[in-house]
């Protein structure tokens, strides 16, 4: 079975109209989730928690899309 991992993260932006974080060191990593539905629930909870700050944004990154299983692995990529 293929895993479809999703990362939920967010932080304060320099400008609400841009996707540039004010301070990368302060990015909040909510977690990595096994499916989109779980990631969406986590994203929604954080977005609602910070709704009063227009500069705060949370995102869902589709980690499974970053990895191409057809591409040869590097020396640092250990296959089990």
Reading the chain (80 residues) residue by residue, the pLDDT tens digits are 677 899 999 999 999 999 999 999 999 999 999 999 999 999 999 999 999 999 999 999 998 787 666 665 555 554 44
Instruction: Give the chain's largest Cα–Cα span.
Output: 46
Q: Let me know the angle formed at the C-alpha of 7 by 58 and 28, rounded to the nearest 5 degrees.
A: 50
* Residue 17 structure tokens: 């109209």
CA distances from residue 22 to 59, 61, 67 in whole angstroms, order as listed: 15, 19, 28
Q: Just give the CATH number of 6-66.
A: 3.30.70.2400
Q: What is the pTM of this model?
A: 0.78
């Amino acid at each position: 079975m293929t895993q479809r991992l999703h990362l939920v993260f967010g932080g304060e932006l320099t400008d609400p109209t841009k996707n540039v974080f004010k301070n990368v060191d302060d990015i909040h990593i909510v977690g990595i989730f096994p499916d989109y539905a779980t990631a969406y629930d986590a994203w929604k909870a954080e977005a609602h928690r910070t709704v009063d700050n227009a500069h705060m944004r949370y995102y869902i990154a589709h980690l499974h899309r970053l990895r191409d299983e057809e591409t040869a692995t590097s020396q640092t990529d250990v296959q089990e």
